[in-house]
Structure 1
């Protein structure tokens, strides 16, 4: 085992010079706006690959707006080598050290250097932490929202006023259809909210084949897209829940205020 392999894991910032990353590559994957950085960790010297993140979840906001490649950006690069470093439980990769990278646009690619402005460190650390925890955050939010959707369903007890005996007496056939339409819209919206909230929290439960490398890559890609997909589903679940509430309110107002035949 090499001496570098015996370095004990420690989550800490290290200041490095440009010479320490002189061998790093900047590759532009097809279809991506930002590059992947590859090279030896400046601290443990083991191979690392770092896809530069384009967006982070904060209600789905992008970390760098637009479709154009930004002229300059700072990212925190954390060692994610696969060598042994006496890592604590739950940590699967790296020696824990991280450094600040500065990417400067150069034609269709980027030049890589060390970011010497340490004022960018807190923001870069916050972005890295948000990236690392976004799957758990959106999963937790979706699980909690299922309870909120269940509360919306409890509002349907109010709909008893529309189905109680004599509640629709005196209404014409067309007026009754209006009440029914509002009721059905509320039920459909509440069902949609529950369905999308469940998908956001748990996904569509199924067995997925990973019997060969291509299937394994497809599964891993889909797992990586979970947070963005779940955030969209959760957003639509929230819209649907409020739509259900609006439909129930409209139904109640129709029952109360539609003119009735004497």
Structure 2
């Protein structure tokens, strides 16, 4: 379960790059009840998706040439410049060089050796999201790559993760990552990529009722990519795409009050 302690290596921000931010704000507002708050004219259309006045995610126009609509998960890095050097040294790619975001913090965007895109955030005045784990907010992060074992050392060296394997399903193994500092719970999972799919990070949003949420996804023009299913001890979840194709998951966790 994620927390807002935001130890190094934990997810502390996420945003959506969209070709039509107004339409995306309307879609996610209809699905999760979020409202959009602009970060101001100097932010280039970037702003905050909020629930009861608290930031649960962010939204902005696509800024990278050739990029597709997608959610980007950011992980806490105490030193973004050092992180960029580590990425290069360990077979990853720096897509967006380290840079300051006003006084809010410093960020950079990378691609891991397996081909999945993500980012890091070095807090300034903004430590991270206001809320996680509660219904309507980020509840989990999951990485899909062709060979999970091939990226373990990359993320361990970059984010300081501890890695463990747990049984999952019929003879399967699920790779769990946790932060090295503090008593931080698990913060991410790593799964093998399905044939024909592209490497990616997938955010899970907590919802009170997965099935009711999927009805709103469909009504808003989104797509259910993986129908709702139950996993013992975990909860009920489904994978979706918004009207522009950005993927996300919804989950009603067994241990999160509605």
Relative to its length, the structure with more helix (as a share) is 1
Relative to its length, the structure with more strand (as a share) is 2
Q: Is TM (by shorter chain) over 0.5?
A: no
Q: What TM-score, normalized to structure 2?
A: 0.23
Q: Bigger relative contact order, structure 1 or 2, given CA contacts below 8 A and separation 6+?
A: 2
Q: What TM-score, normalized to structure 1?
A: 0.23
